[in-house]
Amino acid sequence: MGDPLEMIQIDLPEIDRDALLARIQENMRSHNLVDPPSFPVFEVMSSSRRAASHTSASSSLEFDLQQAHEAYTQTWVTMPPLTSRLPLVGRIKQAFHRLVLYYVNLLASQQMVVNAAILRVLNRLVAAPDADLAALQDEIATLRARVAQLEASAKEDVP
Amino acid sequence: MSHIRAIHQMLGNAGPGNSISAGARLLRNALREWGYASELYAETVAPASAWKDARHFSRYRPTPDDVLILHYTQASALSDFVRTLPCPLILIYHNVTPAHFFIGVNPDVLATTQRGLTELSTFRERVVLAIADSAFNCRDLLAAGYPQTTVVPIIVPETLSQTPPDPAVTATLAESVNLLCVGRIAPNKRCEDVIKVLYYYRQIEPAARLFLVGHTEYTGPYVAWLREFVAWLGLEDAVTFTGHIPDAALAAYYRHAAAFVYMSEHEGFGIPLVESMRFGVPVLAYAAAAIPETLDGAGILVREKHFPVVAEMLHLLQTDTGLRAQVVERQFARARDFAPATILAQLRKQIEGVLLSLGE
């Protein structure tokens, strides 16, 4: 750990800053605060953030696609069970609740299959222009080389 | 003597809860008192009846006697419109949040913030006075090539600190030690760092809770990640995202806050700092961007984000009443520098100075 003197700035002339920061150090020893394993970082957790650094229409498309990827499985319904002060009524309500959730989530799981299929199609559609673009760029490079070759040979033919 | 008879203001959003529009409203009232015709024109006008006096910018009709004040925060349809107008401009620059904070968070905001800074210079030919609300913001104006710049702090109306707190919100705050952070929930605010402070502080004060007050729109992936982060730390019961709330509720949070914790890494001014100082809430803020300038020796600055140390500092603020009183007293003194009457007098001097030169 660095020096708290460097970390905290208090500009109050009436306060003995050194004494205050010494108290912080003393309290840190007595409180012995526990660190978590390691804090996740926003940038690391969403690695696609850095990739989407351009502002063209395709970045909006990537963003929406990413949102769709994150959301398509979130159709499950979970709710706290219904309760009652009367035990028998409580059990009946819970059984009814489970039954409703079973059928709702059955429908949700079928919806997820549909969502996944739609997303696969979208992924292919998004990827297709990139593949086409790469092929076109290759073709342009080949044609440029051919033009350069022809220009060179034309110069050689000039008497 | 100047021929200028009207000074109108153009701003992005007009409505309750928008700090720039609240200040613009005070300025409009002052301009009228100073003898100018003055209206507010905005790109988005809130439907609330209190704001029917702001109009959509498309309704503005320029006359040769007009000067326009453009409140600039980003590129928009409004800034495009203003660029086409023939009137002399006074630019009030409130800062553009750097675009990189919005990569992967919101492509629309990413685009408008990127354009925001690059287009800042495009008003240069017509701007007769460029005002930044902090010296930090002034750097952007100078970089954009504005030769005549000045710094006048943003007008922060005092109505919030005079608003009676919402009793329903107050009732929820009585049992806990409440940390507060106010502002749009956006990556530049580093809300995760405030949550980290709470994580450590709860080991000292288990009754501590954190209230993140501010809009959660436009930054969905970041807000979703923050919620996951809170759950990962097991702090679901201790962290509340209130969203945007009415003034009475906000006043309740300020009145019952043990401390205002601000770990933001980019602020052009930091209006919640002024509000905290007015409410007598001790401020612990990361020393980034305009924050040290706004506090100017008040509050407590965090130079390095070592969260256990910040948590211990919070603990001292809670347990040492003498220290707390001294911090709060210094903050009250600083808050007086931002009294609207003081800021309006500074603006009047700047505006009338430039109008005189236009008359010549």
DSSP one-letter code for A74: T
Segment B18-42 mean pLDDT:
94
Are B302 and A8 inside 8 Å of each other by CB? yes
Are B304 and A2 inside 8 Å of each other by CB? yes
Q: What is the mean pLDDT of chain B?
A: 92
Task: Find where tokens 């040769």 sit.
Answer: B64
- B158 CB within 8 Å of a chain A CB: no
pLDDT of residue B309: 95
pLDDT, one tens digit per residue, over B210-237 is: 999 999 888 888 998 899 899 999 999 9
pLDDT of residue A60: 62
Segment A50-79 mean pLDDT:
59
**Which percentage of chain A shows pLDDT scores above 70?**
69
- B203 CB within 8 Å of a chain A CB: yes
Exposure class string for B30-58: b at 16+ Cβ within 10 A, else e: bbeeeebebbbbbbbbbeeeebeebeebe
Are B327 and A7 inside 8 Å of each other by CB? no
Between B166 and B358, residue with greater pLDDT? B166
Does residue A131 lie within any of the structural domains?
yes
- Residue A59: pLDDT band with limits 50, 70, 90: low
Segment B314-321 mean pLDDT:
96
- Nearest beta carbon to residue A8 from set B100, B200, B303: B303
Does residue A152 lie within any of the structural domains?
yes
pLDDT of residue A44: 38
Are B187 and A34 inside 8 Å of each other by CB? no
pLDDT of residue A75: 64
- Nearest beta carbon to residue B306 from set A2, A27, A52: A2
- Residue A71: pLDDT band with limits 50, 70, 90: low
Q: Does domain B6-157+339-359 have CATH number 3.40.50.2000?
A: yes
- Residue B192: pLDDT band with limits 50, 70, 90: very high
CATH class belonging to B159-336: alpha beta
With H, G, I as helix, E, B as strand and everything else as coil, classify residue B196.
helix
- The residues, ordered by sequence, that sit 6+ positions from A152 with a Cβ below 8 Å of its Cβ are none
pLDDT at B345 exceeding the cut of 90: yes
pLDDT, one tens digit per residue, over B109-155 is: 888 888 898 899 999 988 999 999 999 999 999 999 998 899 999 99
pLDDT of residue A51: 40
CATH 3.40.50.2000 range(s) for chain B read 6-157+339-359, 159-336
Closest CA to B148 of B353, B360, B359, B324: B353
Of all residues in chain B, what percent are helix, strand and coil, respectively (each to 5)? 45, 20, 35
Sheet holding B54-56, edge to edge: B54-56, B40-45, B6-14, B66-72, B89-93, B127-132, B149-151
Cα B291-B295-B301 angle, rounded to 5 deg: 70
Query: How many domains, in total, are found in chain A?
Result: 1
DSSP codes joined into one string, B266-307 = --SS-HHHHHHHHHT--EEEE--TTHHHHHTT-SEEESS--H
pLDDT at B200 exceeding the cut of 70: yes
Q: Is the pTM of this model over 0.95?
A: no
In contact, A48 and A57? CB cutoff 8 Å: no
- Which residues in chain B are closer than 8 Å to A37, comparing Cβ atoms? none
Between B50 and B107, residue with greater pLDDT? B107
Are A7 and B111 inside 8 Å of each other by CB? no
DSSP one-letter code for A37: S
pLDDT of residue A92: 86
Does residue A22 lie within any of the structural domains?
no
Nearest CA in chain A to B323: A15
- Nearest beta carbon to residue B196 from set A6, A15, A39: A39
Domain range enclosing A147:
72-157
Segment B85-104 mean pLDDT:
90
Give the count of beta carbons closer than 10 Å to the beta carbon of residue B318: 18
pLDDT of residue B193: 97
Segment B35-51 mean pLDDT:
82
